[in-house]
Each structure stands twice: as C-alpha cells, then as structure tokens.
Amino acid sequence: MSRVALIDDHESVRLGLEAACARDGAETVVFSGSTVSSYLEWRTASGEPPADVVVLDLTLGDGTTVTENVTALVTDGASVVIHSVADRPAAVREALAAGAAGVVSKSSALDDVLDAIRTVAQGEALNNVEWASAVDGDREFADAQLSAREREVLRLYATGLPLKAVADRLGVAYSTAKENISRIRVKYVGVGRPASTKVDLLRRAMEDGIVAADGTPGGR
C-alpha cells in the first residue's frame, strides 16, 4: 500500500483526494496540509519515513516557488506528482526540471489521479497530455547535446535493457556503456535537467524524442 501526502492550499481539494484514496484502498494518506514546510515539520516531529508519493499543487499560497517545493520534497526522499490546472506551462516545466515525476490536471477524473499516484509509486515514469504539452514546442527547453552514440545508449538503457545488454547490443565494453551513461547524466545536470535515476533518464529520453511518448524504443 502506497503512503501518500497531499499538499494543497485548498482544503476541499485535499478532502476530495483523501476520500478517493480511502475508497480506492491502495493508498494511505499519511499527511494532508497546505504547505511543504508543514509536511517537513510533520516528518521531523513524527519520525515517519517520507511519503512514497506527494501530490503537490503547483502554486501554494505561502509565497514559495515551484522549484523550492519540488526540490525540498525530492531531496527528502519522496516522489512528486504535480496536481494542478496545468495552465502555466513554464511552471510545469520548472517542476519537471526540479525532479517532479509528472503532472496530472485538476480537471482529470479522480480515477486518473489515483492511476497517476499508483504509477509513480511503482517507480514508473508518468506520461500524460499535461506532461507532454508542457514540453512540446518549448524553445527554452535546454538541449543536452548528446552525441549519436550517447543517444543510442540512452534509448536502449532507458527502455529497460540492463547496461550489460546495452553494451552487448552495441558491441562495446561494459565500461564504455557505463561511461556513456555517466556522461549523459552530467550533460543533463549541466542544462538544469538532472537525471539521477533510470526513471529520470526515461523521462529525459521521452522529452527529447529519443524514445516514443509511450516509453518504447521507437523515438528518433
């Protein structure tokens, strides 16, 4: 059962999500509040481990920034799903760059929100219309300038092959494939799009069209 925290400055939204989680039975809401700081204070006071997934409103009423909130939650050990009207693509991109696992619109059905929570709790990349629309056509979305070989290594690795299998498929040494992945991570950090996990790498590969939008190896 996934442990979920809800952070939104609209109580009615939190109550609705909490009721949906209780009805679904696959999620336990361990915290519900209006700020990231109150969640972190609860964590410290209670000694509870981080929530598996934090469902976070894109803009809170306490003056904090998107980057501050997402970074604090990810650093603390939680995966973050942005739950927003998603009408501010720049802010959505900012959340994704800070490490959010994806976006689900507040106009979505509750079942879709629960599906997003379950997907992220399982360590999978969240791919949906809101997520994609925040990236499509963004001229300011920094290109990591991957080489052709790095793109091929990323395409194979991000879509599920173990690194040794990637090396075998490309006819290179394991150490060479590993070095490619290390360089890829460094390049993404350099353009403000960190990819510390394999799920992050899949997300970056989808963002850059290296794999198809459904996470399969059909990208360009």
Please give the single-letter amino acid code of residue 49.
P
pLDDT value of residue 95: 83
More confident residue, 137 or 144: 144
Would you give the DSSP letter of residue 172?
Answer: -
Contact 220, 209 (CB under 8 A): yes
Cα within 13 Å of Cα(56), Cβ side: 37
The per-residue DSSP string of 53-64 comes to EEEE-SS-TTS-
Give me the residue spans of the domains in the chain. 2-135, 148-207
Choices 2.40.30.10, 3.40.228.10, 1.10.10.10, 3.40.1190.20: CATH for 148-207: 1.10.10.10
In terms of pLDDT, which residue wins out, 200 or 127?
200
What share of the chain has pLDDT > 90, as a percent? 53
Lowest model confidence (mean pLDDT) among 139-153, 171-185, 193-207: 139-153
Half-sphere exposure of 42 (CA within 13 A, CB side): 17
What does the alpha-carbon distance between residue 166 and residue 174 come to, in Å, rounded to a whole number?
8
CB 131 within 8 A of CB 81: no
Flag whether pLDDT at 125 surpasses 80.
no
Over range 148-173, report the average pLDDT: 93
End-to-end CA distance of the chain: 37
147 phi and psi angles, rounded to 5 deg: -75, 170
Neighbours of 25 (CB within 10 A): 8
Place 139 in a pLDDT band, splitting at 50, 70 and 90: very low
CA 8 to chain centre: 18
User: In degrees, to the nearest 5, what angle opens at C-alpha 200 toward C-alphas 133 and 131?
Assistant: 15
Measured in whole angstroms, how far is the alpha carbon of residue 59 from the centre of its chain?
Answer: 17
Please, are residues 102 and 120 in contact by the beta-carbon 8 Å criterion?
A: yes
How high is the mean pLDDT of the chain?
86
- pLDDT(152) > 70: yes
Q: Cα(31)–Cα(46) distance, rounded to whole angstroms?
A: 11
Q: Helix-strand-coil percent breakdown of the chain, rounded to 5?
A: 50, 10, 35
pLDDT of 172-193, one tens digit each? Answer: 999 999 999 999 998 888 887 8
- Per-residue pLDDT band at 204 (split at 50, 70, 90): confident
Query: What CATH homologous superfamily does 2-135 map to?
Result: Response regulator (3.40.50.2300)
Tens of pLDDT, residues 62-117: 988 888 999 999 999 999 999 987 556 767 777 877 888 888 888 888 999 999 99
pTM more than 0.75 = no
Instruction: Provide the 3-class DSSP secondary structure of residue 113.
Output: helix
